[in-house]
Each structure stands twice: as C-alpha cells, then as structure tokens.
A and B are shown apart, each in its own frame.
Chain A
Amino acid sequence: MEIVGLLVIVILITLIIFFSLAFMSGMPDEDRLTVFQDARIANQLGPVITETTVECGSRNIKVNELIRDCAGPNEIMCLSQNSCTVLNNTLEKMIKETLHKDLEYSFTIKKINEDELITNFTTQGCVNPRRYDTYVTPIVSRIGPTNINIRVCN
C-alpha cells in the first residue's frame, strides 16, 4: 500500500511538471522582426512624412508646411482643396503603405497648447490599449508647437 502511495505522488509530480512546461512553452513568443519593424516604422514615419514634398497646384510644398497651415492660418489652397484636405489625403496614402494591416495604431497630429486634434487615424484595437509605445515628431510653427504622435498598440 505504501508503494501505491509513492506511485500516486510520483504521478502527481510528473503531471505538475508536464503542465507547467506546457504552459510555459505555450506562451506566445514575441515576433522579434515585427517588433523591430513596427518600432522602426513608427520611429521614422513622422520625420519622413514631414519632409515629403507634395504637389500643390503649380508648386511643390512639404507636408510640414501643410501641417502648419492646417493647424493655423489655413491660407494654403491646392487647386480647390485646402491644406487640411490635402494633408489628410496624403497621410492616408502614406499610412496605408507603411503600417501593417494587422497592426493596431493611432496616428494623430495635435496642437499642444490647445490640445486640438488636426488629424486622427486610429484603428479600433488602439482605442483603449493595455500597452503602447509612442513616437513623437515635433513640428515648430509660429502659432505654437504641434506634434505628430504615432502610437503602436499592443
């Protein structure tokens, strides 16, 4: 009878070890390359976007000028479209090309002093994320600081 008791203990210990190993190996591995890529994209996207040239009627202007104008005086007109419309259309194309379709992100441009959103592209899963990494690109303008905020959500 004692030996049966020993057997029961051995079986219990073995089951505990198996289940704990199975639980540990079942934890999702972080995809290193996706994390690197997402971080790199989010880190570089702001500066790259601001330096991009877009056509505005008969002249070319940089996106950071569109952002400044949209945040402030709203004087720039590109044919029949104002700076905010051109900015939103341009940003939409760029974001679609770069941020992975499965990625949950929030892309916003905000006037700091007034806490006003100039543009907002946010996926559903990023509305109340448990964890996120934020990448900020500041844009200096005479009406006050404006930031491009890219939030990569988990």
Chain B
Amino acid sequence: MRKKAQIQNMETITVVIIIIILIVIGVIYASNQRRSSLEEERQRVQDLEAMKVATNTLNLEFVKCSEAEAVSDICIDYFKIKALGEQSELDKNIFFFNSLFGDSSIKVNILKNISLDQENENITLFEVPIENKTSITTRIPVTVKDAVRDINFFAIMEVSVFR
C-alpha cells in the first residue's frame, strides 16, 4: 500500500517537473520570437526610410524637368542635378540637405552609351561620408534631360540609405 502511494507520488512529481520544463521551454521560445520581431521592426523602419528618401528625391521641384511651367514626374534636368551636386557639398548647405536626405547617398548614373555611344556619366547629388556602415540601395530608372542639346538620356538613380 505504502509502495503504491510512493509510486503515485513519484508519478505526480515527474509529471509536474515535465510540465514546468515545457513551460520554461515555451517562455524561452517566446522571448526569442520577441527579439527577432523587434529586429524585423527595425528593418521595416529602415526599408521605409529608404523608400521615403527615394520618393522625396524624385519629387524635388528643383531637379525636375520643366517645359512651359509643367513639371514631369520621371524627368530630371541635367544641369539642375549638376548644380545640386555642387551645392550639396558646400558646408553652409549641409544642414539643409541633411534634413532633406538624412544619412543617405544619392547618385545618378547617366547611361550615355545607350543614347549616343558616349561614356556614361555619374553625378552625385548628395553623399554623407559614412564609413563601415551597411546600406540599403534602391535603383530607379529616370530620364535626364539635357535641355541645351535637347537630348533625353536614360539614367538610373541610386539611393542608398545607411543603417
């Protein structure tokens, strides 16, 4: 009788221990999931930031092509972006451009070899000198208009947002 009671006690204790172990494993698993979802949230915010910078750049009034005061969404003016690139390098303008573009790098690669069999040209609109940081890059096709020669070049705008 006593032995039977002892065996029953052992069974109960074993079951309780196993249940506690399962609960502990569940808590550890849940905390790992929470940590990875925080990392995903951080990445989501950075992805959205890259999209925001890319969209803002394309919506800048002072780089868009204009003809009879009508601006185009997909066309940027060659001379305007060259001037923008020069202005963004000046110390007095850093604060303004930084507030506009954040920690990012915006370049336009004009593929002149497609239109005119000339060498391609790279124009840097804005660049933050950041080392040893990973970046997310978006590449979007745009038209770069040379209003003087009346030529529309096929170009790729690369927007890199640093993490």
Contact = CB atoms under 8 A, between A and B. Distances in A.
A18 interface: yes
Nearest to B146: A53
Contacts, number: 101
Interface string A17-57: 11001000100010011001100110011011101111100
Interface residues of B, number: 38
A44 B138 contact: no
A52 B115 contact: yes
Interface string B51-62: 100100000000
A106 to B, nearest CB: 17
Q: What interface size band does chain A fall in? A: 35 or more
B74 A44 contact: yes
B70 interface: no
Given A3-B12, A4-B11, A37-B140, A32 B44 contact: yes
A54 to B, nearest CB: 5
Contact of A60 (B36, B54, B142, B151): B151
A66 B150 CA distance: 17
A47 B44 contact: no
Given A4-B15, A53-B151, A94-B141, 13 more contacts: A7-B18, A18-B26, A25-B33, A33-B47, A33-B51, A36-B138, A47-B143, A48-B141, A53-B152, A53-B153, A55-B116, A97-B114, A97-B141
28 contacts: A3-B11, A4-B11, A11-B18, A14-B22, A17-B26, A18-B29, A21-B29, A29-B40, A32-B47, A32-B48, A33-B50, A33-B136, A37-B140, A41-B140, A48-B141, A48-B143, A51-B152, A52-B115, A52-B152, A52-B153, A52-B154, A53-B153, A54-B115, A55-B115, A62-B152, A94-B141, A97-B111, A97-B114
Interface of B: 11-12, 15, 18-19, 22, 26, 29, 33, 36, 40, 44, 47-48, 50-51, 54, 74-75, 111, 113-117, 136, 138-143, 150-154, 156
Counting from the closest, the 3 A-B pairs by CB-CB distance are A7-B15, A52-B154, A48-B141
